[in-house]
Amino acid sequence: MATRNPPHTFPLERTVAGPRPEISPPVAFTPPPLACDAHCHVFGPAAAFPFSPNRTYTPPDSGIDDFLRLQDRLGLSRAVFVQASCHGSDNTAMVDAIKRGGERFAGVAMIDQSYTDDDLIELHENRVRGIRFNFVAHLGGAPDLDEFWELVYRVAKFDWHVVLHFDAKDFATYTDVLDAMPVPYIIDHMARVPAAHGIHQEPFQRLLERISTDDRCWVKISCAERLTEGQVAPFDDVIPLARALVEAAPDRLLWGTDWPHPNLNVMPDEGELLDLLAAFAPDESVRNRILVDNPQVLYTF
Cα 272 to Cα 234: distance, rounded to the nearest angstrom: 8
129: Cβ–Cβ under 8 A, 6 or more apart, which residues?
A: 106, 107, 108, 160, 161, 298, 299, 300
Indicate the angle between helix axes 117-125 and 145-156, nearest 10 degrees.
60
The residues that are catalytic are 258
Cα 251 to Cα 286: distance, rounded to the nearest angstrom: 8
Cα 93 to Cα 7: distance, rounded to the nearest angstrom: 13
- Between the CA of residue 79 and those of 101, 132, 208, 239, what are the distances in Å? 9, 16, 26, 23
129: closest CA among 105, 149, 96? 105
The helix, strand and coil proportions of the chain, stated in percent and rounded to the nearest 5, come to 45, 15, 45
